[in-house]
Amino acid sequence: MNPDSLIERLHQLLKRIQTYPWWVVLIEFVVIWALVYIILRFLHGTRGARAIKGVALVLIIGTLLIKVLGSGTSFERLNFLYSNLLGYISLALVIVFQPELRRAMVRLGEARLFRGSNLRRARVIEELLGTVAYLSKNKIGALIAIERHVGLGGIIETGTRVNAEVSKELLNTIFWPGSALHDMGVVVQGDRITAAGVQFPLAEGEQFSSELGSRHRAAIGLSQETDSLIIVVSEETGAISLAERGQLTRGLTLSGLRTLLVRGLGEIKLSDTAANNLSSGTNQAA
């Protein structure tokens, strides 16, 4: 195909677009943009997200080129091969990236905000700080994931349902050495402990320090795939860490952990009574 012919076809395409009402074109672009944004939002944070985006970009560019260059009698064989291979490529992508796509689709029905009043959120933070203080002092390992916008229903399936109100006494019992559920993670949704003994996905890659144990890698791994806040207490040192969006903040004090939890779960203005309860509860646990 010569350049003049290509320019002529592009010109015809632009003239065809101009025949449509402007508001129809605008609505179509908005709908397409919204669909693309939602898909990218669902795929964000999954391990195969970048690969899927790259393949999708190649398919989009390939489709546009075929439609422009392959119309008419030119490149008929190329157009035929592309039309038949496109379906197989799409099927292959679904099979290869099935775990990532499944986690992304789970977000459709489970995306939620941390619901409840400021006082309820403050109580959850109080109970979490109380158990972290106790576990850290006694060097008892712990792994606690706090759900935010992205639902954790997919990984909850690997654990044991608890469905109980968040309390430091229950958390201390779960993580006590020798208990049936102490060696895995706990999932907190809202003000409820939904499940215990949950297997979190381990982070992989040479960029992670070799000194990180399985709990820390599990915390990073889950934070890479969701927007959860994951608290880690080291069994060897009692050190406190928090994982968020693939980043691990280590060596936290109780005060530092509280600051990160308040920021991550929404600004909380405690009443004097709630603040005193939080302080006394943490001190008693320590």
CATH code of residue 152: 3.40.1700.10
99 plus 19 within the same structural domain:
yes
pLDDT tens digits for range 11-37: 776 777 677 787 877 888 888 888 777
pLDDT tens digits for range 251-261: 999 999 999 99
What domain range is 21 assigned to? Answer: 3-110
92 plus 142 within the same structural domain:
no
Query: Mean of the per-residue pLDDT values for the chain?
Result: 77
pTM over 0.85: no
Single residue among 110, 141, 174 that ends a domain in this structure: 110
129 plus 156 within the same structural domain:
yes
214 plus 76 within the same structural domain:
no
pLDDT tens digits for range 143-159: 999 998 888 888 888 89
132 plus 274 within the same structural domain:
yes
Q: H-helix or E-strand containing 146?
A: strand 142-146
- pLDDT score of 209: 58
127 plus 267 within the same structural domain:
yes
Averaged pLDDT, 79-102: 69
Count of the separate structural domains present in the chain: 2
pLDDT tens digits for range 174-217: 999 988 888 889 999 988 999 999 999 888 765 565 677 889 99
| Residue given tokens 């109080």 in the structure block | 126
8 plus 98 within the same structural domain:
yes
pLDDT tens digits for range 55-75: 677 777 777 676 666 555 556
Averaged pLDDT, 83-102: 69
Single residue among 82, 110, 138 that ends a domain in this structure: 110
201-235 as b/e, with b when 16 or more CB fall inside 10 Å? Answer: bebeeeeeeeebeebbbbbbbbbbbbebbbbbbbb
129 plus 102 within the same structural domain:
no
| Residue given tokens 């397409």 in the structure block | 32
122 plus 96 within the same structural domain:
no
Q: Which two tokens stand for residue 269?
A: 């203005």
